[in-house]
């Protein structure tokens, strides 16, 4: 579980840096690098690895099936809250930390055989949703109006989406570039987590009732819904367990970074990402235990 220790350490570094004489807009500067450099490099290295497997259709479809359900939950939960709060939850609630947290914890709980399902859920689901849906949410709530042309423009100019298209068309990058792309890609999680830790503050504009409701939705309700759908589909037990655990992962680090960079309730966004990781260390093993006793 060294990965979890590393995650916690990076969050703590960000929290400690709150006491330092950091430059103005320190977190936004980190997020800018993540969005324009780290994330595109990750796209170029990871997307060519995608291999469609019809036996894992339920795993691939699950994040897309959960997306509209979570959107409805968020709209209801935020009906009496400002638009920037709704925008934050629309970004961080549907998207889970299905790779950096997902891989080590699923490997620990289910074994090596579950990792291909993790990659399918992450790359066909979470990653594509981030690039497509994430850009649309940012475009919609940064302007305050639903302008289709502006959303399309924002999407087409969103760096991860541009590089997603390139990666799908070009496939594997030239061998000579791969070590450098991996090096740039490796900066994504450290920079994003430090930024999240730096932005984590209890107090201020955080609505604790909404914060608690959001954690329950993300870490408990979403995996329960996923279990119901996959069970009804007759999904293979290992694929089912993997997809349920993936659906119950804490909020995606990059989604939190995007919300913070866009000014969408940054304290709430950072708290859901950061504290969600700590809470998931309890909920995910519990979900795994329940799954073992049900199936």
Tell me, yes or no, whether 271 lies in a domain.
Answer: yes
Domain of 282, in residue numbers: 26-294
Residue 5 domain-assigned (yes or no): no
Mean pLDDT for 116-122 is 82
Per the domain annotation, does 7 fall within a domain?
no
Alpha helices in the chain (DSSP H): 2-17, 26-33, 39-46, 57-77, 83-92, 102-110, 115-120, 127-129, 135-143, 148-157, 159-170, 178-185, 188-199, 208-216, 222-233, 237-247, 253-262, 266-294
Q: Look at the alpha carbons of 144, 149, 152, 158 in this order and tell me if their dihedral is positive or negative.
A: negative
The count of structural domains within the chain is 1
- pLDDT interval class at 73 (50, 70, 90): very high
Residue 268 pairs in a beta bridge with none
Bigger pLDDT: 108 or 177? 177
Quote the pLDDT of residue 54.
58
Per-residue pLDDT at 95: 92
Instruction: Supply the mean pLDDT for the chain.
Output: 84
Q: Tell me: pLDDT of 145 over 60.
A: no
- % of residues, the chain, pLDDT over 90: 26
**Helices 266-294 & 188-199 angle (0-180, nearest 10):** 110
Q: Which of 183-192, 198-207, 242-251 has the highest mean pLDDT?
A: 242-251
6, part of any domain: no
Name the residue with tokens 């999407």. Answer: 155
Determine the pLDDT at residue 137: 86
Distances (CA, A) of 71 to 39, 96, 124, 198, 240: 24, 14, 19, 28, 23
> Residue 275 has what pLDDT?
86
Q: What CATH number does residue 226 fall under?
A: 1.20.1530.20
Mean predicted confidence (pLDDT) in 2-24: 82
């Amino acid at each position: 579980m060294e990965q979890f220790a590393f995650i916690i350490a990076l969050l703590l570094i960000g929290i400690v840096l709150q006491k330092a004489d950091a430059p103005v807009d320190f977190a936004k500067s980190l997020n800018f690098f993540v969005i324009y450099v780290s994330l595109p490099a990750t796209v170029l290295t990871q997307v060519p690895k995608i291999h469609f497997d019809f036996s894992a259709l339920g795993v691939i479809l699950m994040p897309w099936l959960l997306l509209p359900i979570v959107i409805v939950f968020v709209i209801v939960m935020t009906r009496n809250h400002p638009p920037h709060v709704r925008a934050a939850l629309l970004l961080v609630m549907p998207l889970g930390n299905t790779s950096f947290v997902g891989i080590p914890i699923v490997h620990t709980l289910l074994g090596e055989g579950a990792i291909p399902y993790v990659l399918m859920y992450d790359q066909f689901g979470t990653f594509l949703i981030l690039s497509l849906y994430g850009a649309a949410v940012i475009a919609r709530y940064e302007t305050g109006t639903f302008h289709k042309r502006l959303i399309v423009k924002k999407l087409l100019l969103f760096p991860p989406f541009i590089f997603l298209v390139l990666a799908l068309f070009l496939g594997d990058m030239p061998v000579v570039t791969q070590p450098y792309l991996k090096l740039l890609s490796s900066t994504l999680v450290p920079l994003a987590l430090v930024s999240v830790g730096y932005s984590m503050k209890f107090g201020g504009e955080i609505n604790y009732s909404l914060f608690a409701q959001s954690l329950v939705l993300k870490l408990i309700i979403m995996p329960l819904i996923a279990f119901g759908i996959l069970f009804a589909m007759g999904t293979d037990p290992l694929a089912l367990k993997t997809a349920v655990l993936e659906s119950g992962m804490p909020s995606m680090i990059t989604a939190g970074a995007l919300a913070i960079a866009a000014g969408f309730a940054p304290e709430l966004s950072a708290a859901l990402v950061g504290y969600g990781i700590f809470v998931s260390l309890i909920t995910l093993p519990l979900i795994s235990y329940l799954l073992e006793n049900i199936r």
